[in-house]
Amino acid sequence: MKSVGKRPESGFKFATALAASLLSFFAGAQPDLESYSRQGVERLSSYLQIDTVNPPGNESRGVEFLKTIFSEAGLAFEHVESAPGRGNIWAKLPATTTPKQAGLILLHHIDVVPANRDYWSFDPLSGEVKDGFVYGRGAIDTKGLGIAQLQAFLALAESGLPRNRDVWLMATADEEAGGFFGAGWLVENRPELFADVGYVLNEGGSGRVFGEDIAVMVEVTQKVPLWLKLTSTGRPGHGSAPLVETSVTRMVRALKRISETEFPVRVMQPVAEMFEGIAPYQSDADRQTFATIGQGNLSDEYLLELKMRSPGYHALLRNTCSITRLEGSAKINVIPAEVHAELDCRLLPDQDPEEFLQALNVIINDPHVSIGKIMGFTPAVSTTQTPLFKAIVDVSADEFGAQVVPTVAGGFTDSHFFRDLGITSYGYSPFAFTTAEFAGVHGNDERVSVINIERGIRVYYQLLAKFVGGQ
């Protein structure tokens, strides 16, 4: 006699297995993120050992490294040199569902800035993994981010998740010198690559550790670089017979005037929102001022204290110029006819560059000192009212228990090339840095923790799964 209302055990198991199989087929299989995370540490170590210091760059060495990984994963890719040795590479995971939504590029740069071994505790290109850290120039800026993107990208490819948009992994040359052999070159010479792209995730933001708390900083705009070359002229002569005025004395006077100038404070709305967002994590000396910074009640004494404590925050409140290079006589006993100096000026996004140059000429106040423009970009702001920003907010809450703070970057990245095309670009990395760890960027003893790399790969995958896979 058959039991009523009871399924045979074998039939139940078959139905359960079939349902699980169908769910896996439609939702995608969860990749082994632990393996991808551990492998990421090894790959970052290898990546850091590749010399891509800019100048001269030699980013094609990094391209060869990434080509091997893409080939082993069975992924199609393209690469191109914008000049000998200046390599760029990209791979694409095409959308698998319709209607296809605007594509996403995961962007990092292959080149790194120089490092002076005399001031480092280890070989800057060692890639050594020791005491819970991966050491080397580019560990944070941006080979570490590149490896987190790479491993999450490969995990997404393996997962089989349906993709509602194309996803690109792109590694470019020359960001540290302006991007003209990298992202800028691709935008100009391969515009078809970006025709269906709506979003870029790039460097420029990260989680920051404030005591027991973490805030995820997402860069939405940046100060605008204006790199200038000053040239002063004067009567040349022999060093043994000093002249009353020379090209050198004129340049010294001009640079002194510039160095002693504090440009007017202007708190832009994106800057005010950033300061208000991070106010709860500040010390007593800054908490209240940050929370009300949009009201503009900043004394000269407070601004000086802030500049000494936190020059990066201070720089977001006004235009700035740093004297970075000087060039005089080729011989110690020759008074030169010309002297050159270079300035790294960073302008608030609403500053008219031509008006700024006119003001700088007034400050210099010398017809024998001329100003030439080396490089300048255009300002742009990416809105936070997008599904990608919402995904970042959701993942940050899930993975870090952290709020997201839209931020303004004092430095520039390649994002401006894409913002000029109308592509929403965010500076975002899945790491959470302490102040000490983040100090290595363009500084001495750059390193990133193993925990940051392993956790960051998992976080980046979750972001891709949510935004691209609709989870």
CATH of the domain at 265: 3.30.70
How confident is the model over 190-205, as a mean pLDDT?
97
pLDDT-based confidence at residue 255 (cuts at 50, 70, 90):
very high
pLDDT-based confidence at residue 23 (cuts at 50, 70, 90):
very low
User: Is residue 394 domain-resident?
Assistant: no
How far apart CA 201 and CA 367 sit, in angstroms, is 45
How far apart CA 444 and CA 288 sit, in angstroms, is 33
Query: Nearest 10 degrees: CA dihedral of 313, 318, 323, 324?
Result: 50
**What percentage of the chain reaches a pLDDT higher than 70?**
93
For residue 147, what are the contacts with CB-CB under 8 A and spacing of at least 6? 40, 43, 44, 47, 453, 457
The per-residue pLDDT for 469 is 87
pLDDT of 19 over the 70 cut: no
The per-residue pLDDT for 285 is 84
How confident is the model over 377-390, as a mean pLDDT?
94
Residue among 231, 254, 235, 255 nearest 245 (CA): 235
Phi first, then psi, for residue 369 (nearest 5°) are: -115, 115
How confident is the model over 315-338, as a mean pLDDT?
97
User: Is residue 263 domain-resident?
Assistant: yes
For residues 276 and 360, membership in a common domain is answered with: yes
pLDDT-based confidence at residue 24 (cuts at 50, 70, 90):
very low
How far apart CA 466 and CA 462 sit, in angstroms, is 6
pLDDT-based confidence at residue 435 (cuts at 50, 70, 90):
confident
Q: 223 to each of 381, 409, 410, how far by Cα in Å?
A: 10, 6, 5
How confident is the model over 427-451, as a mean pLDDT?
94
For residues 92 and 192, membership in a common domain is answered with: yes
The per-residue pLDDT for 471 is 58
Question: Do residues 215 and 433 touch, judged by C-beta distance below 8 A?
Answer: no
User: Is residue 43 domain-resident?
Assistant: yes
Residue-wise pLDDT for 87-121, tens only, equals 999 999 999 999 999 999 999 999 999 999 999 99
With b meaning 16 or more CB within 10 Å and e meaning fewer, what string describes 372-386? eeeeebebbbbebeb
For residues 179 and 34, membership in a common domain is answered with: yes
User: Is residue 300 domain-resident?
Assistant: yes
Residue-wise pLDDT for 43-82, tens only, equals 999 999 999 999 999 999 999 999 999 999 999 999 999 9
Question: Do residues 215 and 278 touch, judged by C-beta distance below 8 A?
Answer: yes
Count other Cβ atoms within 10 Å, centred on residue 178.
17
User: Is residue 121 domain-resident?
Assistant: yes
pLDDT of 27 over the 90 cut: no
Q: What's the maximum distance between 2 C-alpha atoms anywhere in the chain? A: 122
pLDDT-based confidence at residue 22 (cuts at 50, 70, 90):
very low
Token duo for residue 175: 């960001």
For residues 71 and 117, membership in a common domain is answered with: yes
For residues 306 and 360, membership in a common domain is answered with: yes
Question: For 318, which DSSP code?
Answer: B
Number of structural domains in the chain: 2
pLDDT of 323 over the 70 cut: yes
Question: Do residues 123 and 109 touch, judged by C-beta distance below 8 A?
Answer: no
pLDDT-based confidence at residue 26 (cuts at 50, 70, 90):
very low
Place of tokens 């840095």: 433
Domain that holds residue 424: 30-204+413-467
User: Is residue 404 domain-resident?
Assistant: no
The per-residue pLDDT for 1 is 34
For residues 34 and 92, membership in a common domain is answered with: yes
User: Is residue 293 domain-resident?
Assistant: yes
From first CA to last CA, the distance across the chain in angstroms is 47
Round the average pLDDT of the chain to a whole number and report it: 92
For residues 193 and 240, membership in a common domain is answered with: no
pLDDT-based confidence at residue 9 (cuts at 50, 70, 90):
very low
pLDDT of 154 over the 80 cut: yes
Place of tokens 């632990």: 34
The per-residue pLDDT for 31 is 92
How confident is the model over 276-288, as a mean pLDDT?
92
For residue 327, what are the contacts with CB-CB under 8 A and spacing of at least 6? 339, 340, 341
How far apart CA 202 and CA 323 sit, in angstroms, is 28
The per-residue pLDDT for 378 is 87
For residues 176 and 269, membership in a common domain is answered with: no
For residues 286 and 423, membership in a common domain is answered with: no
Last-in-domain residue among 347, 376, 405: 376
pLDDT of 155 over the 60 cut: yes
Phi first, then psi, for residue 97 (nearest 5°) are: -125, 165
For residues 359 and 248, membership in a common domain is answered with: yes
pLDDT of 220 over the 70 cut: yes
pLDDT of 18 over the 70 cut: no
Last-in-domain residue among 327, 350, 376: 376
How far apart CA 347 and CA 318 sit, in angstroms, is 7
**pTM to 2 decimals?**
0.87
pLDDT-based confidence at residue 28 (cuts at 50, 70, 90):
low
User: Is residue 132 domain-resident?
Assistant: yes
Last-in-domain residue among 331, 357, 376: 376
**What percentage of the chain reaches a pLDDT higher than 90?**
88
For residues 419 and 362, membership in a common domain is answered with: no
How confident is the model over 21-50, as a mean pLDDT?
81
How confident is the model over 376-399, as a mean pLDDT?
95
For residues 92 and 198, membership in a common domain is answered with: yes
The per-residue pLDDT for 15 is 39
For residue 425, what are the contacts with CB-CB under 8 A and spacing of at least 6? 199, 200, 201, 202, 382, 415, 418, 419
pLDDT of 195 over the 80 cut: yes
- 85: burial class by Cβ within 10 Å (0-12, 13-18, 19+)? middle
User: In CATH, what number is assigned to the domain containing residue 149?
Assistant: 3.40.630.10
- 130: burial class by Cβ within 10 Å (0-12, 13-18, 19+)? exposed
User: How many CA atoms are closer than 13 Å to the CA of 396, on its beta-carbon side?
Assistant: 26
